[in-house]
């Protein structure tokens, strides 16, 4: 039982590095399947980036998607 707090602290330290991962690379079809659309260079204001369609296209989706 004493090891449980140590394991939780270790897990939190490991997860801190995961948050800096780049967006998931996907195709245009995958982007549309996730409810998004491809946009060149950046997403419009009020729209969040959820991945990549290609090297120069971002997969964008409204932030309040049902």
Per residue in 14-50, pLDDT (tens digit) is 666 555 555 555 688 999 988 899 999 889 888 999 8
Which of 37, 40, 58 lies closest to 49 in space, CA to CA?
58
**Domain annotation covers residue 28:** yes
**Domain annotation covers residue 56:** yes
CATH label of the domain that carries residue 37: 3.10.360.10
What's the pTM value of the predicted model, to 2 decimals? 0.54
Banded pLDDT at 58 (limits 50, 70, 90): very high
Number of domains in the chain: 1
SS3 of the chain: helix, strand, coil, percent, to 5: 35, 25, 40
Pairing type for strands 47-52 and 57-62 reads antiparallel
Q: Give the residue-averaged pLDDT of 51-63.
A: 88
**Domain annotation covers residue 14:** no
Specify whether the CB–CB gap between 51 and 31 falls below 8 A.
yes
Evaluate if residue 60 carries a pLDDT over 90.
yes
**Domain annotation covers residue 18:** no
Give the residue numbers spanning the domain of 57.
Answer: 24-65
């Amino acid at each position: 039982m004493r090891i449980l707090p140590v394991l939780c602290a270790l897990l939190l330290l490991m997860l801190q590095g995961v948050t800096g991962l780049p967006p998931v690379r996907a195709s245009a079809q995958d982007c549309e399947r996730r409810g998004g659309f491809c946009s060149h260079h950046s997403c419009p204001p009020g729209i969040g980036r959820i991945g990549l369609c290609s090297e120069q296209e971002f997969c964008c989706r409204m932030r309040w998607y049902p």
